[in-house]
Amino acid sequence: MAPPDFSGVWELNLENSHLKGPVPRRIAVTIQHEGNSVHQLVLVVSASGDEQRNELTFQTTGIATPVVFGNHVGETSAHWQGSTLIVETRLTAGGRELHFRDHWSLSRDGTVLTMAHPDDDLAGQVSVLERAPTESSADG
């Protein structure tokens, strides 16, 4: 069985998600998933309307890729566990290392992307994203 293709534009369903930290007004994620390469653009709109964009490209082969989120540097690697993609990111922030292990899974009909953190620094967070109409994107 081929692994799922996470490509698409995804909008966070706030009602079905359980987030740690401040609840945003909106999160939109644009994913381009081709072969072993995943490019992710995330737009977060805070409750006050401030926008933050993060861009990340990584491989699904377990090879670590350097990443920068704002002033924080680290690395991301990803590997398959059945049809679930495990995306691990380690960042250094304020002298502390942060570890995120994000479990990506796609619904059978391909309309819901779940990003769960069962056992990392965001343990218990579950983001439920729904496939957006093609005219929406994390670009704006």
Query: Which pLDDT tens digits describe the chain residue by residue (140 residues)?
Result: 788 999 999 999 999 999 998 899 999 999 999 999 999 999 999 999 999 998 999 999 999 999 887 778 899 999 999 999 999 999 988 888 999 999 999 999 999 999 999 999 999 999 999 999 765 556 65
Q: Are 9 and 134 in contact (CB under 8 A)?
A: yes
Cross-strand bridge partners of residue 78:
87
> Of all helices (H) and strands (E), which one includes residue 1?
none
Q: How far apart are CA 93 and CA 73, in angstroms?
A: 8
- Burial of 78-100, coded b for 16+ CB within 10 Å and e otherwise, reads beeeeeebebbbbbeeeeeebeb
User: Smallest Cα–Cα separation from 102: which of 88, 113, 114, 81?
Assistant: 88
| Domains of the chain, start order | 8-131 (2.40.128.20)
AA letter at 133 = P
pLDDT reported for residue 62: 95
Q: Are 44 and 27 in contact (CB under 8 A)?
A: yes
pLDDT reported for residue 113: 98
User: Smallest Cα–Cα separation from 12: which of 129, 139, 140, 131?
Assistant: 129
Q: Are 118 and 126 in contact (CB under 8 A)?
A: no
Rounded alpha-carbon distances, angstroms, from residue 99 to 2, 36, 52: 28, 22, 21
Q: pTM score, two decimals? A: 0.90
